[in-house]
Amino acid sequence: MTLYKYQIGIIGAGNMGEALIRGLLRSKLVGTKNLIASGRRAKQCRKIHQKYKIATTQDNVRLVKNSRTILLAVKPQNIDALMPQIAPHLNKRHLVISIAAGIPVAKLKKGLKGFKAIVRVMPNLPSLIECGIAGIYCTSVVSKSQKRFAHKIFEAVGKTVDIGREKWMDAVTGLSGTGPAYLFAMIEALTRAGEKLGLPKKEVRILTLETMLGAAQLALKTKATAEELRKRVTSKKGTTWAAMKIFKKHRFWDLLMKAVAAAAKRSHELRGK
Ligand SMILES: NC(=O)c1ccc[n+]([C@@H]2O[C@H](COP(=O)([O-])OP(=O)(O)OC[C@H]3O[C@@H](n4cnc5c(N)ncnc54)[C@H](OP(=O)(O)O)[C@@H]3O)[C@@H](O)[C@H]2O)c1
């Protein structure tokens, strides 16, 4: 049996790669001696090595030969160049996890010369502060323990959801992958509204952000649906009633649903590009 020096090898120590390194070490899923990361630039490798005391390399072949689980954290446009480099060095004991948005398993399988134990993940931006949510799709040859391990990796930077069918990954991309931007847009709009009504910037910021966070936490903690919660705070002719009248008039719900559908459609269109 091959004994690998590293449990996890992360190819691409950029934003997501670094967030995973940080989360994995903090959660103690792996120790500094069991983790390796690669980057294209020596400076980047040095920075990661000094900051996290893990092994780093510019040599992806070295990383693959020495790691049991290979995590592809490069941009989707860099996947094509990467795959032929690592494909000849993959074997049955490896597990490949890709977070590259929109790259389907079929493309990975082909680029990796028929390698099958592949997991596709759609994380999101709050992973940077360990508050992410990741949709995880595992191919049928991925074992139960490999699947558990894949979930544990992303639990180190937030929460995970098992996605049973690959075709749902476009919807996951539209909903949670792109989702932080919907909230940022709402924060922008609420901030402008608060300031226009005369509130100072500092107060607007805290009132807006804590309102969003609190509402999401309330929705998570109660059994009531978001619609029930909204109706509960809307009394006839009250302030929320006045606000919801505008939402209804301008079809707020339709707008958001269209945005999510457009993002999912774009994810589908971008596959393989
Ligand atoms: N950020 C998000 O919110 C988010 C959400 C969901 C999914 N994702 C996915 O996560 C992946 C990474 O995104 P990111 O935002 O972390 O990108 P990023 O900050 O650009 O990180 C990618 C890193 O990979 C390095 N790299 C490129 N080719 C390489 C190679 N052949 N070998 C080793 N390293 C290589 C890049 O080096 P250079 O700096 O030299 O280019 C860069 O440091 C993407 O596929 C994206 O679709 C990201």
| Ligand 1 residue neighbourhood (C-beta within 6 Å) | 11-17, 38-41, 44, 60, 73-76, 78, 82, 99-101, 122-125, 177
For ligand 1, the distance from its centroid to the CA atom of residue 10, given in whole angstroms, is 11
Amino acid at 181: A
Find all residues with CB under 8 Å of 44, minimum gap 6, and list them. 13
The predicted model gives 172-177 an average pLDDT of 97
Ligand 1: which of 40, 121, 153 to mutate, judged by most atoms within 8 Å of the beta carbon? 40
For ligand 1, the distance from its centroid to the CA atom of residue 143, given in whole angstroms, is 27
The predicted model gives 25-53 an average pLDDT of 97
Residue 242 has pLDDT above 90, yes or no: yes
- Helices 42-52 + 15-27 axis angle, to 10: 20
Question: Residue 2 — very low, low, confident or very high, per pLDDT cuts 50/70/90?
Answer: low
Class of domain 179-270: mainly alpha
Predicted confidence (pLDDT) per residue in 134-169, tens digit: 999 999 999 999 999 999 999 999 999 999 999 999
Residue nearest (by alpha carbon) to ligand 1 atom 42: 14
- pTM score: 0.94
Please report the pLDDT score of residue 273 as a whole number.
Answer: 55
Q: Domain boundaries in the chain?
A: 6-164, 179-270
Residue 211 has pLDDT above 70, yes or no: yes
Residues 175, 260 contacting (CB under 8 angstroms): yes
**CATH number for the domain whose boundaries are 6-164:** 3.40.50.720
